[in-house]
Structure 1
Amino acid sequence: MRPPVDVERIRALAVVLSRATRTETVLYLTGGATAVIEGWRASTVDIDLRLEPDSDEVMKALVQAKRDLDINVESASAGLRAGASSWRDRSPASSVGLPRRQCG
Protein backbone atom coordinates (compact mmCIF):
# COMPACT_ATOMS: atom_id res chain seq x y z
CA MET A 1 0.00 0.00 0.00
CA ARG A 2 1.27 3.45 -0.90
CA PRO A 3 1.51 6.26 1.65
CA PRO A 4 -1.18 8.97 1.81
CA VAL A 5 -0.89 11.79 -0.72
CA ASP A 6 -0.37 15.28 0.71
CA VAL A 7 -0.59 18.69 -0.95
CA GLU A 8 3.10 18.75 -1.86
CA ARG A 9 2.85 15.50 -3.81
CA ILE A 10 -0.29 16.72 -5.60
CA ARG A 11 1.59 19.88 -6.58
CA ALA A 12 4.61 17.81 -7.67
CA LEU A 13 2.37 15.74 -9.95
CA ALA A 14 0.89 18.91 -11.45
CA VAL A 15 4.39 20.25 -12.17
CA VAL A 16 5.41 17.01 -13.91
CA LEU A 17 2.27 17.02 -16.05
CA SER A 18 2.64 20.71 -16.85
CA ARG A 19 6.18 20.14 -18.12
CA ALA A 20 5.11 17.18 -20.26
CA THR A 21 2.33 18.89 -22.18
CA ARG A 22 2.87 20.44 -25.59
CA THR A 23 -0.58 22.02 -25.83
CA GLU A 24 -2.83 23.89 -23.45
CA THR A 25 -4.15 21.25 -21.06
CA VAL A 26 -6.59 21.52 -18.17
CA LEU A 27 -6.10 19.34 -15.09
CA TYR A 28 -9.32 18.68 -13.16
CA LEU A 29 -9.02 17.23 -9.66
CA THR A 30 -11.93 15.53 -7.91
CA GLY A 31 -12.54 13.68 -4.69
CA GLY A 32 -10.01 13.67 -1.88
CA ALA A 33 -7.36 15.56 -3.86
CA THR A 34 -9.70 18.54 -3.98
CA ALA A 35 -10.15 18.41 -0.21
CA VAL A 36 -6.37 18.32 0.27
CA ILE A 37 -5.74 21.24 -2.13
CA GLU A 38 -8.43 23.32 -0.41
CA GLY A 39 -6.94 22.55 3.01
CA TRP A 40 -9.97 20.63 4.29
CA ARG A 41 -7.81 17.62 5.14
CA ALA A 42 -4.13 16.74 5.23
CA SER A 43 -4.03 13.79 2.84
CA THR A 44 -5.91 11.40 0.58
CA VAL A 45 -5.33 7.83 -0.58
CA ASP A 46 -5.22 8.72 -4.28
CA ILE A 47 -5.52 11.50 -6.82
CA ASP A 48 -8.63 11.40 -8.99
CA LEU A 49 -8.04 13.51 -12.08
CA ARG A 50 -9.09 14.28 -15.60
CA LEU A 51 -6.90 15.84 -18.27
CA GLU A 52 -8.34 17.74 -21.24
CA PRO A 53 -7.07 16.99 -23.72
CA ASP A 54 -4.97 14.01 -22.80
CA SER A 55 -1.96 13.16 -24.94
CA ASP A 56 0.61 10.40 -25.24
CA GLU A 57 3.30 12.65 -23.72
CA VAL A 58 1.21 13.52 -20.69
CA MET A 59 0.02 9.96 -20.16
CA LYS A 60 3.62 8.67 -20.28
CA ALA A 61 4.64 11.35 -17.78
CA LEU A 62 1.71 10.34 -15.56
CA VAL A 63 2.78 6.69 -15.51
CA GLN A 64 6.35 7.67 -14.59
CA ALA A 65 5.20 10.20 -11.96
CA LYS A 66 3.05 7.56 -10.27
CA ARG A 67 6.21 5.50 -9.77
CA ASP A 68 8.53 8.38 -8.89
CA LEU A 69 6.14 10.04 -6.42
CA ASP A 70 4.79 6.72 -5.08
CA ILE A 71 1.16 7.78 -5.55
CA ASN A 72 -2.10 6.22 -6.70
CA VAL A 73 -3.80 8.06 -9.55
CA GLU A 74 -7.27 7.24 -10.84
CA SER A 75 -9.13 8.55 -13.85
CA ALA A 76 -12.13 10.69 -12.96
CA SER A 77 -13.43 10.58 -16.53
CA ALA A 78 -16.29 8.21 -15.80
CA GLY A 79 -18.04 10.75 -13.60
CA LEU A 80 -17.20 13.72 -15.81
CA ARG A 81 -18.75 12.81 -19.13
CA ALA A 82 -18.22 15.23 -22.00
CA GLY A 83 -21.96 15.80 -22.36
CA ALA A 84 -22.79 16.03 -18.67
CA SER A 85 -24.45 19.22 -17.55
CA SER A 86 -22.02 22.05 -16.88
CA TRP A 87 -19.58 20.31 -14.52
CA ARG A 88 -16.81 22.38 -16.13
CA ASP A 89 -18.64 25.58 -15.18
CA ARG A 90 -18.83 24.37 -11.58
CA SER A 91 -15.13 23.48 -11.42
CA PRO A 92 -13.32 26.48 -9.96
CA ALA A 93 -9.71 27.22 -10.75
CA SER A 94 -7.38 26.51 -7.88
CA SER A 95 -5.85 29.42 -6.04
CA VAL A 96 -3.41 27.37 -3.98
CA GLY A 97 -0.31 27.28 -6.12
CA LEU A 98 -0.82 24.61 -8.74
CA PRO A 99 1.30 25.47 -11.78
CA ARG A 100 -0.17 27.31 -14.71
CA ARG A 101 1.77 27.18 -17.93
CA GLN A 102 1.02 28.87 -21.21
CA CYS A 103 1.69 26.60 -24.16
CA GLY A 104 2.09 27.30 -27.82
Structure 2
Amino acid sequence: MHLTAVGAVPALEWVKTTDAPRPLTSSDVRKHTVDGTPVLDARLASDTGSDSSVGFTRLIADDDHFVQVVVLGPEAKEKALKAMHERLLDRLRFP
Protein backbone atom coordinates (compact mmCIF):
# COMPACT_ATOMS: atom_id res chain seq x y z
CA MET A 1 0.00 0.00 0.00
CA HIS A 2 1.22 3.50 -0.84
CA LEU A 3 -0.06 6.92 0.12
CA THR A 4 -0.43 9.42 -2.68
CA ALA A 5 -1.20 13.12 -2.29
CA VAL A 6 -3.90 14.34 -4.65
CA GLY A 7 -5.29 17.82 -5.10
CA ALA A 8 -4.29 21.43 -5.30
CA VAL A 9 -2.11 23.22 -2.80
CA PRO A 10 -2.75 23.79 0.07
CA ALA A 11 -5.59 21.23 0.35
CA LEU A 12 -4.04 17.84 -0.32
CA GLU A 13 -5.99 14.61 0.03
CA TRP A 14 -4.13 11.38 0.79
CA VAL A 15 -5.31 8.37 -1.20
CA LYS A 16 -4.34 4.74 -0.53
CA THR A 17 -3.22 2.87 -3.63
CA THR A 18 -2.13 -0.70 -4.15
CA ASP A 19 -0.04 0.02 -7.26
CA ALA A 20 3.52 -1.20 -7.12
CA PRO A 21 6.08 1.60 -7.05
CA ARG A 22 7.45 2.55 -10.44
CA PRO A 23 11.16 3.10 -11.01
CA LEU A 24 12.02 6.78 -11.33
CA THR A 25 14.83 8.34 -13.29
CA SER A 26 16.13 11.85 -12.77
CA SER A 27 17.36 14.40 -15.29
CA ASP A 28 18.25 18.07 -15.32
CA VAL A 29 19.83 17.64 -11.87
CA ARG A 30 21.11 20.96 -10.53
CA LYS A 31 22.94 21.66 -7.26
CA HIS A 32 22.82 25.31 -6.10
CA THR A 33 21.88 27.48 -3.13
CA VAL A 34 18.70 29.35 -2.26
CA ASP A 35 19.07 32.08 0.36
CA GLY A 36 22.41 30.51 1.32
CA THR A 37 20.94 27.02 1.83
CA PRO A 38 22.18 24.12 -0.34
CA VAL A 39 19.49 22.61 -2.58
CA LEU A 40 19.33 19.94 -5.25
CA ASP A 41 16.68 20.14 -7.98
CA ALA A 42 15.75 17.43 -10.51
CA ARG A 43 13.10 16.47 -13.02
CA LEU A 44 11.68 12.96 -12.43
CA ALA A 45 10.25 10.49 -14.93
CA SER A 46 8.82 6.99 -14.89
CA ASP A 47 8.07 5.42 -18.24
CA THR A 48 5.98 2.29 -18.01
CA GLY A 49 4.54 2.34 -21.50
CA SER A 50 1.15 4.01 -21.73
CA ASP A 51 1.21 5.05 -18.06
CA SER A 52 4.13 7.52 -17.98
CA SER A 53 4.64 9.85 -15.01
CA VAL A 54 6.72 12.97 -14.59
CA GLY A 55 7.53 15.23 -11.69
CA PHE A 56 9.93 17.53 -9.95
CA THR A 57 11.83 17.34 -6.69
CA ARG A 58 13.92 19.61 -4.51
CA LEU A 59 16.13 18.42 -1.66
CA ILE A 60 16.92 21.10 0.93
CA ALA A 61 19.43 20.73 3.75
CA ASP A 62 20.70 23.05 6.45
CA ASP A 63 22.07 22.54 9.95
CA ASP A 64 18.65 21.77 11.47
CA HIS A 65 16.43 20.53 8.61
CA PHE A 66 16.27 18.13 5.69
CA VAL A 67 13.24 18.59 3.45
CA GLN A 68 12.26 16.88 0.20
CA VAL A 69 9.54 18.45 -1.93
CA VAL A 70 8.14 16.10 -4.59
CA VAL A 71 5.39 16.59 -7.15
CA LEU A 72 4.60 13.58 -9.37
CA GLY A 73 1.76 12.87 -11.77
CA PRO A 74 0.70 11.95 -15.31
CA GLU A 75 2.99 13.12 -18.11
CA ALA A 76 0.03 14.81 -19.81
CA LYS A 77 -0.15 17.26 -16.87
CA GLU A 78 3.57 18.15 -16.73
CA LYS A 79 3.00 21.90 -17.11
CA ALA A 80 0.46 21.96 -14.25
CA LEU A 81 2.75 19.81 -12.09
CA LYS A 82 5.65 22.22 -12.66
CA ALA A 83 3.42 25.14 -11.62
CA MET A 84 2.29 23.25 -8.48
CA HIS A 85 5.93 22.49 -7.60
CA GLU A 86 6.85 26.17 -7.95
CA ARG A 87 3.91 27.20 -5.73
CA LEU A 88 4.97 24.69 -3.06
CA LEU A 89 8.53 26.00 -3.11
CA ASP A 90 7.32 29.61 -2.91
CA ARG A 91 5.28 28.79 0.23
CA LEU A 92 7.93 26.72 1.99
CA ARG A 93 9.31 28.46 5.10
CA PHE A 94 11.76 27.28 7.71
CA PRO A 95 11.17 28.37 11.32
TM-score range (shorter-chain normalised) is under 0.3
TM-score (norm 1): 0.26
TM-score (norm 2): 0.27
Q: Looking at both structures, which has the greater relative contact order when contacts are Cα pairs under 8 Å and sequence separation is at least 6?
A: 1
- Decide which structure has greater strand share: 2
Q: Which has the larger radius of gyration?
A: 2
